[in-house]
Amino acid sequence: MPALVVAIQAIERMISVVKAIVIMLVLGAFLGLALAIAAKFFYVKVDERIEIVKMLLPGYDCGGCGYTGCAGFAEALCNRKTDNVNLCRPSKLEGKQAIVDYLNKTPDNEGNIVTIKL
């Protein structure tokens, strides 16, 4: 009789463990689905021009332009916060001209073209 009680208790413990595993799997699947839906709903389209302008800048991140490094200056140029590429003092004339040519010809996500002066 005691062996039967021990066996029943072992089976009950195994059932509890299986229940916990199933609950965690269902919870993980539900939260994963919720994250996937949220990622689709809150998707923000990235402006590729910022990365390209950042590559055309010298990459010193000196802050001499008044922005937080080359990434901040590239974002300011693309988002019309400044229209003067000459704020970047370390950049050579060829690099500045490349930025002006690129931004004056390439539209943003809404189809607007930024007018930059040299």
pLDDT tens, 1-45?
A: 688 888 899 999 999 999 999 999 999 999 999 999 999 999 988
Q: Can you tell me the distance from the alpha carbon of 104 to that of 96, in angstroms, rounded to the nearest whole number? A: 12
Task: Name all contacts of 5-13 with Cβ < 8 Å and 24+ positions apart.
Answer: none
pLDDT of amino acid 37:
96
Mean pLDDT of the chain: 92
Right CATH for 48-105 from 1.10.15.40, 3.40.50.720, 1.50.10.10, 3.30.1490.190: 1.10.15.40
Query: 97-106: per-residue pLDDT in tens?
Result: 999 999 999 9
pLDDT of amino acid 99:
95
Residue 116: is its pLDDT beyond 90?
no
What number of CA atoms fall less than 13 Å from residue 71's CA on the CB side?
1
Q: Can you tell me the distance from the alpha carbon of 47 to that of 107, in angstroms, rounded to the nearest whole number? A: 10
Task: Supply the pTM of this predicted model.
Answer: 0.68
- Percentage of the chain surpassing pLDDT 90? 77
